[in-house]
Amino acid sequence: MKVLIAGGRGRVGSKVADLLEQNDVEVVSGGLDDGVDYIQGTGVAEVLEGVDTIINVLNTGRFDKEGAVDFFEGTTRALSAAGERAGVKHHILLSIVGVGEGDASEIGYYLGKVAQERALKEGTLPYTIVRSTQFQSYVPVLADQHTVEGKVMVPRDLIQPVELDELVALLGEIALAAAPLGEVEIAGPERFHMDDLLRGTLAASGDTREVITVESDGPIDAMVPRGEYRMGSVLYPVREIPTAD
Ligand SMILES: NC(=O)c1ccc[n+]([C@@H]2O[C@H](COP(=O)([O-])OP(=O)(O)OC[C@H]3O[C@@H](n4cnc5c(N)ncnc54)[C@H](OP(=O)(O)O)[C@@H]3O)[C@@H](O)[C@H]2O)c1
C-alpha cells in the first residue's frame, strides 16, 4: 500500500508517517517542504503517482473566515481532483469535532473546516472524515489564542481533549484497513469546562495569567461529540482540574 500524507511533515502528519512506516507502508510526504503546493498546483500529480490512500492533515495559520475557507476548500478540492485522476481509492481527512452537519459555529477557522468537509464530499473519492477534539498538547495554545491584553478570556464551554498519539493510532488504523468509513469522531476520556481547564493548565506550569470566564457565544457543547465516538483512554496530564460531569 502506498499512502500520501498531505502535510506529512506537520505535527500530526509526521507521527502518522512514522506509524505507517513501522507497518511497512510506503509513505510519501506531500507538503511545502517537499516541493508540493496544493494551492499553486505544484508537484501534485507527481506526488500522487501510484498512491492508494491520501491522508489529508494540511493546516493553515489563517484563522479568518476568508483565509481559512480559501485554504481548506482549495487544497481539498485540488487533492480530490488530482486523486481521482491518479486512481486513489480512499481519501482520509482530519477534521474537528463541532464542524459536522447540523453543527454551527461562526469561528472563521471552523467555517474553513466546514468548507473542507463539503469539498471532500462533493468529490467522487471514497472518504473517511475523522473529526477529533482538541489535542491535549494544544491546550496551552488555546490559552494564547484567547489572551487579550494579558488576560485569558474564555467561556465555560465544554471541551474533551484527546491525546495526540491516540488520534494518530486511529488515523493509522483507518488507513491500514483500507475501508472508507464515512464519518468518525474521537475525543478524550474526560470532559472539562474550558475556563477550568485553562486555569488549571496555566497554574500547573507556573503561568500567572488570569483566566476570566466570559459569556459563551454559542451552544456550550459545540466542541464535544454529540453522537457516537471513539473514546481515548489517556487522562489529561494535569490531574487536579475538576471535570464537567
Ligand atoms: N490542534 C488541534 O487540537 C486539532 C484538533 C483537531 C483537528 N486538527 C486538525 O489537524 C490538522 C493538522 O494539524 P497540524 O497541527 O498537524 O498542522 P501543522 O503542524 O501546521 O502541519 C500542516 C502541514 O500542512 C502543510 N501545508 C500547509 N500549506 C500547504 C500547501 N499550500 N501545500 C502543501 N502543504 C501545505 C505544511 O507543510 P510544511 O511543513 O512543508 O510547511 C505542514 O506539513 C489540521 O487540519 C487541523 O484542523 C487539529
The β-bridge relationship of strands 230-231 and 182-187 is parallel
Answer yes or no: is the C-beta of 36 below 6 A from any ligand 1 atom. yes
Nearest CA-CA partner of 150 in 213, 215, 210: 210
Residue 11 CA to ligand 1 centre (angstroms): 7
Percent of the chain with pLDDT strictly greater than 90: 91
- Taking CA atoms only, the protein residue closest to ligand 1 atom 34 is 31
Number of independent structural domains in the chain: 1
pLDDT band for position 102 (cuts 50, 70, 90): low
Mutation to probe ligand 1, out of 32, 54, 142 (largest number of atoms < 8 A from CB): 32
pLDDT digits (tens, 9 = 90+) for 213-242: 999 888 899 899 999 999 999 999 999 999
Rounded distance between C-alpha atoms, residue 42 and residue 75, angstroms: 12
Rounded distance between C-alpha atoms, residue 226 and residue 237, angstroms: 24
Percent of the chain with pLDDT strictly greater than 70: 98
Write the CATH number for 182: 3.40.50.720
Residue 240 CA to ligand 1 centre (angstroms): 31
Rounded distance between C-alpha atoms, residue 124 and residue 238, angstroms: 44
pLDDT digits (tens, 9 = 90+) for 49-93: 999 999 999 999 999 999 999 999 999 999 999 999 999 999 999
Task: For residue 93, tell me if it sits in a domain.
Answer: yes
pLDDT digits (tens, 9 = 90+) for 6-15: 999 999 999 9
Mutation to probe ligand 1, out of 58, 97, 132 (largest number of atoms < 8 A from CB): 58
Going by the DSSP 8-state scheme, the letter that residue 32 receives in this structure is G
Answer yes or no: is the C-beta of 186 below 6 A from any ligand 1 atom. no
Task: For residue 143, tell me if it sits in a domain.
Answer: no
Residue 13 lies in domain: 2-134+163-188+227-231
pLDDT of residue 107: 83
Answer yes or no: is the C-beta of 72 below 6 A from any ligand 1 atom. no
Q: Which three cell numbers stand for residue 115?
A: 468548507
Nearest CA-CA partner of 213 in 192, 193, 195: 195
Asked whether the predicted pLDDT for residue 104 surpasses 70, the reply is: no
Compute the CA torsion angle 25, 1, 184, 224 (nearest 10 deg): 30
Residue 8 CA to ligand 1 centre (angstroms): 8
